[in-house]
Amino acid sequence: MIKTLAASAALALALATAAHAGEVYTGIGTHGAMLGYAQPVAPSVTLRADVASLGSHSTTKTEDGIHYDADLKLSRGGVFADWFFRGGWRLTGGVTFNAMKLDLVGRPTNNQITIGDTTYATQDGDRFDAQVKFPKTTPFLGFGYGHQGSTEGAWGFHFDVGASIGRATVSAAASGPTFNGLSATDRATLNANVDKETQELRDGVGKIRAIPQLSLGVNYRF
């Protein structure tokens, strides 16, 4: 991702002329704190690259007899092209490079865990893990204001509304002494139960086909 952003920034600089002032910008939004660089290459076109991150957030939750330790990671980089159709108003297209996933570690409650239609008596080390993951590379479409070439040494502001388009994938697995020691028949039943739990997740978060972005910030031209 870093190499891609660096190459894109180099391309923007190569295309730019002295008549267009570059800018650095920062902001905050649904993807966390953001830092980027924008370079106008024509009166109505600007190329940009930025990175944003919310870091990692952890929480716990108990549902259907399963104690979940949840860990959410949300970071992304992006390269964008802005087309200004009226003053500072623009349409934006680009590509985002994502590190977005939700890890769920399910642990038994009262030495029991229910997976699908079966409740299992468990022992230390048994767990049910699931992961929801967004694609690493996705197209981006958006609408916003700001980043148009203007006077050097000037402050400005910008905002964006858009989405990275892609479908989340869901995976799950049961592991530990109890599950590793199952007979072939019981293993087949476990696999069916895991598939059912996985499908329930897909019916929820697995239907996500885009990650929205809303951000607001300031920029400085030089």
Q: Which amino acid, residue 170?
A: V
Residue 151's pLDDT band (cuts 50, 70, 90)? low
User: What are the residue ranges spanned by the domains of the chain?
Assistant: 2-221
In this model, does residue 7 exceed pLDDT 60?
no
Higher pLDDT pick, 206 / 99: 99
Give the gyration radius of the chain's Cα atoms. 23
Average pLDDT over every residue of 103-115: 87
Residue 207 gets which letter from DSSP?
A: G
pLDDT at residue number 11 = 52
The CATH code belonging to domain 2-221 is: 2.40.160
Instruction: Say how far residue 43 (Cα) sits from the centre of its chain.
Output: 32
How far apart (Å, rounded) are the C-alpha atoms in residues 199 and 125? Answer: 24
Structure tokens at 212: 């929205």
The average pLDDT across 164-175 equals 92
Q: In terms of pLDDT, which residue wins out, 154 or 153? A: 154
Count of C-beta atoms within a 10 Å radius of residue 76: 25
Rounded percentage of the chain residues whose pLDDT exceeds 90: 60
In which element (H, E) is residue 8 found?
helix 2-15
pLDDT, the chain, mean: 87
CA distance 94 to 142: 9
Q: Of 61-65, 97-101, 208-212, where does mean pLDDT reach its minimum?
A: 61-65
pLDDT at 16: 47
Confirm if 113 and 128 have CB atoms less than 8 A apart: yes
**pLDDT tens per residue, range 9-41:** 455 445 444 456 789 999 999 999 999 999 999
